[in-house]
Amino acid sequence: MSDLKQSHGVLWRMMGGERSTSAIATKKRTRAVEPRPIDERLTPAIRRTLEAGLTRLRGRPVRIQNLRRQFSMGSSSFPTERLRVSLKGEKRPLLVFFKDLDPNHQMEKARAVRPFDLEPGRRELQMYETILSPERFGTLHLYGYRWEPERSRFWAFFEDGGRTVLHNYLDMPRWTAAARWAARFHAATRGLPDTQTRFLPRYDAAHYRRCAERVAQLLPHLEGAEHDLVARGLECFVERIEWLSALPPCVLHGQYFGKNILLRRSTRGPKVVVIDWETAALGPGTFDLVSLTAGKWTSDERDAMRRAYCEQYEAETGRQIDREAFLEELAGVALYQALEWLAWWGPHRALSRHFGNFLRELAILLERDFGPCMGQTVEVA
C-alpha cells in the first residue's frame, strides 16, 4: 500500500468506513438542541406581520383569531418556532414556520462558528421573492417577513413543510428523488437574467482564490498526515481555479445536504421540499450534487444519485451530458468543496466531526481522481 493509501486508510478508519443502506434503511439520527423560551411580548407584532403578509398573498383581508407558538427542537443555526394559526372564517388552522434571522439570536453552536452577518438571511428572503416558486419547484410559500434593523427584528414566516427530513433516512428512492429535484432546478435556473440574480454571490475566480487563501492560512495549524493531505489538495485546487471559474453557472442551493431537504407524501413517490436558502449562489450545479452525495455512501449508492441527476437534467434540457466531462467536473467541484469546508471548520474542529468528515472526502478524492498532481509521498507513522 502506498503512503497516500496509508494516509487515506487511517482517515477512513477514523470515520468508520463505508456503510450500506440495506441494513439500516430508515434509521433516524437525533441531536440535542437547547430550548429557547417563548417571548410572548412579541406575539402581537408576529400577529400583525402575519396578517399583513397573508393579506398580500391572498389578495383579500386576513384576520387571525388565535395564535399558538411552540419552539422547534429542530432549530439549527437560527431559533425557529412552529405556529398554529386560527384564521377568521376558516375551520382548518394554518401551520406556519417562524424563523428568527437575527444573528444575535443564533443558536449556541452557530454563534461559536458564524460571524455577525445579516446578508445570508436577506439573501434567503430574496430567493423566495424572486426565484423560488411553490408551483414550479414545490418550495415553501413565504407568508410574510419583517426586516427592521432599527428594531433588531429580522423575521420570516414560511409555510410549515412538516418534520420529515431526508437526513433521517438512508433508503435510495428518497435520495435519488432529491438528485432529480436538483437537476430540474439547475436546468430551470441556468441563464436567468442578471436582474433576477444580481443579489447572489458568484463562484468566480476571486471566490475560489479566497478559498485557497483560507486553506493556506489553515495549513500551519495542521501536522503530519493531515498537513500533507491538505497541502496536496490545495496544490491540485489552485491548478484548477481558472477552469472551475469557467464552468457554466446556474442558481445553486449551496448546502444541498439531507438536513435541508424535507419530504412530503405524494402518489408519485417522495415529494422534495428544499429549505434554508441562505447560501444560495451562482455557480456550477454539480456543487449541489456533490453535497448531496458526500459522506459514507457505497459506490453504487453514489452512482445511483448521479445517474438520477443526469437522466433528469437531460430530460429537462434535451441535451446529452458528456459522462467523462461530467465526472471530471464532479471531481474538481468536490475538491473545492472539501477544502472550503476544511477551511470553515478548521478553527472550530473541536465543536464538530465535520472537519474529520471532509478530511476523509479529500483523501478519497486525491487517491481516486487526482493522482497526476501528487508530489511527494505522505509518510504516516
Grid coordinates representing 197 are 440574480
Q: Which residues contact 144 (CB under 8 A, 6 or more apart)?
A: 49, 50, 52, 53, 54, 56, 57, 156, 157
What are the Cα distances from residue 259, in Å, to 77, 132, 184, 335? Answer: 12, 19, 20, 22
Average pLDDT over residues 95-119: 87
- Whole-structure pTM value: 0.87
Calpha distance 251→183 (Å, rounded): 11
Name the DSSP class of 202: B
| pLDDT tens by residue, 330-374 | 999 999 999 999 999 998 888 888 899 899 999 999 999 987 564
Judge whether residue 1 has pLDDT over 70.
Answer: no
| pLDDT tens by residue, 296-328 | 899 999 999 999 999 999 999 999 999 999 999
For residue 33, the model assigns a pLDDT of 65
Calpha distance 60→78 (Å, rounded): 31
Judge whether residue 111 has pLDDT over 60.
Answer: yes
- Decide if 179 contacts 308 (C-beta within 8 A): yes
Which percentage of the chain shows pLDDT scores above 70? Answer: 89
Residue (of 377, 365, 363, 356) closest to 240 by Cα position: 365
3-state secondary structure of 154: strand
* Backbone phi, psi, residue 236, to 5°: -65, -40
For residue 32, the model assigns a pLDDT of 56
For residue 309, the model assigns a pLDDT of 98
Residue (of 234, 230, 227, 231) closest to 208 by Cα position: 234
Helix (H) or strand (E) holding 80: strand 80-87
- Decide if 295 contacts 193 (C-beta within 8 A): no
For residue 187, the model assigns a pLDDT of 98
Judge whether residue 70 has pLDDT over 50.
Answer: yes
For residue 5, the model assigns a pLDDT of 39
For residue 373, the model assigns a pLDDT of 61
DSSP-H helix ranges across 318-374 = 323-345, 354-369
Judge whether residue 30 has pLDDT over 70.
Answer: no
Calpha distance 313→183 (Å, rounded): 5
For residue 10, the model assigns a pLDDT of 37
pLDDT: which is higher, 75 or 159: 159
The listed range with the strongest mean pLDDT (14-18, 128-132, 370-374) is 128-132
| pLDDT tens by residue, 229-287 | 999 999 999 999 999 999 999 999 999 999 999 999 877 777 999 999 999 999 999 99
- Torsion 294-296-299-302 (CA) sign: negative
